[in-house]
Chain A
Amino acid sequence: MLWLTSTLHHLFIPSHRNNFRAKLLHLDFLIVLIAAATLLSFGTGWLEKTEILGIAQDIRIEKLFQLTNEARQSQGLPPLHYSNQLAHAAENKAQHMITNNYWAHFGSGRSPWDFILASGYSYEVAGENLAKGFMFSEGVVDGWRNSSTHWANITKAEYDDVGFAVMNGALEGEETTLVVQMFGKRLAQEQPVEPKDEKQLADVGLIKPAQASGVESTAAASAVQPKGENDFVPATIKNSWQISINTLAFSLSTALFGLLLVVLLVDLVMAHRFGIIRLTGKNIAHVIFIATLIIGLYFIKNGGLIL
């Protein structure tokens, strides 16, 4: 216990033993921290590529589904059912955006309704939310919550079903994670149908959707014959050994900056209390710098939305 106290004293508090500057702020220790940070930076990339450990996606469909329904229930709305067809439409939309390098609801001659109809889902009303570059599922739904148009889609009472796609890819020159959320309500008295070839869309009577906020549409009757769809709830990942790389990197980054902030403040206060006069960098300036980076982590964690 005495050893621990002595070590903490040496690391955090200026004294004759550490040349009147917290050891954690010495140049040699900063080099050690840089080496550790370098390991973190390259190690996380290596872990992702080698797949030695089970790597979990930080943005998970089951989590998005759960958070979406919790958001609806907080507004007194019934939960949405998970639709494989809307999920299929969302996957196709995500892949289409990556292949054709665009980030928009309407792009490369296709609309969200094209993908929904091609999946075999004939809708009375439908909608789409998009997100990219987020690190965590909670951030995605919070981002949608804070946007009136996206929130309007999530809390639209008319929707019955939802489907998600989460896809990694290069978009506009950057590796990113896309999230596509498709909403829908089936046409009345219609059963779900098998997904069809996109080229068969031509015989579907489609009303051109209005360019409303949050991107929603109503459509006339479809010529497709209904069939059954097995609505299924995505399975929850139960493997406790899986490591979320983004969570690991983010947590370690926050911890490192937090530690630096604490040691700078403690060193500043204790040096003043002991009346130490010394030639060092300005702790106040370092505190402003590190505090800015900690706030910056919030912006890095949250990605972008499209209106």
Chain B
Amino acid sequence: MLTKRSITHKVKDDLHAHVLEYLLLFTSAMIFLLFLSLFRGQPSKQFIATSVFVLYYIVWGITHHTRDQSLHLKIVFEYILIGALAMIVLRALLV
């Protein structure tokens, strides 16, 4: 008998399979928010923190998919374009 797992099971399985990588991603997100808070009222420093976080995210994506053996040029572009979109949107607010 075939059973279909729920979406939450699938997500949990993915997180468990790559627990260290997702932990690193989550930690980097928290560090980014911490720096945004520390640099309140200093938009240029907040923009630098944003740039570093976006760059880290793209590198994370490439590394994650390399270890997952699912790396493809399309996937690399996906992370780069989402990162670029975030940078440009936040630039409108910070610069």
Contacts and interface: CB of A to CB of B under 8 A. Distances in A.
Interface of A: 25, 27, 30-31, 33-34, 37-38, 40-41, 44, 132-135, 173-176, 246, 249-250, 252-253, 256-257, 260, 268-269, 272-273, 275, 279-282, 284-286, 288-290, 292-293, 295-297, 299-300, 302-305
B44 A34 contact: no
Contact of A299 (B10, B44, B46, B81): B46
B36 A299 contact: yes
By CB atoms of chain A within 10 A, which of B14, B37, B43 has the most?
Answer: B43
Which 7 residue pairs across A and B have the least CB separation, nearest first? A304-B41, A133-B41, A303-B41, A41-B92, A299-B36, A30-B81, A292-B29
Interface residues of B, number: 47
A302 B42 CA distance: 10
B11 interface: yes
A132 B11 CA distance: 42
B92 A296 contact: no
B85 A30 contact: yes
Interface string B1-40: 0001001001100110000001001100100110011001
19 contacts: A33-B85, A34-B81, A34-B84, A37-B88, A37-B92, A38-B88, A40-B89, A41-B92, A133-B42, A134-B41, A256-B85, A282-B65, A285-B60, A288-B22, A289-B25, A292-B53, A293-B89, A295-B33, A303-B40
Contacts of B36: 296, 299-300
Given A281-B75, A289-B82, A300-B46, A132 B41 contact: yes
B contact patch SS: helix
Given A37-B89, A41-B92, A280-B74, 11 more contacts: A27-B77, A34-B84, A133-B42, A253-B90, A280-B78, A282-B14, A285-B60, A288-B26, A293-B86, A299-B40, A302-B40
Nearest to A248: B92
A25 B7 CA distance: 20
A212 B14 CA distance: 55
Nearest to A35: B88
Contacts of A175: 43
Contacts of B90: 253, 293, 296, 300
A176 B92 contact: no
A279 B57 contact: no
Contacts of B74: 27, 279-280
B93 A249 contact: yes
Contact of A41 (B14, B25, B53, B89): B89
B79 to A, nearest CB: 6
Contacts of A41: 88-89, 91-92, 95
A174 B42 contact: yes
Nearest to A265: B7
B42 A304 contact: yes
Contact of B32 (A132, A268, A292, A297): A292
B82 A253 contact: no
A279 B75 contact: yes
A200 B86 CA distance: 54
A285 B89 contact: no
Contacts of A135: 93
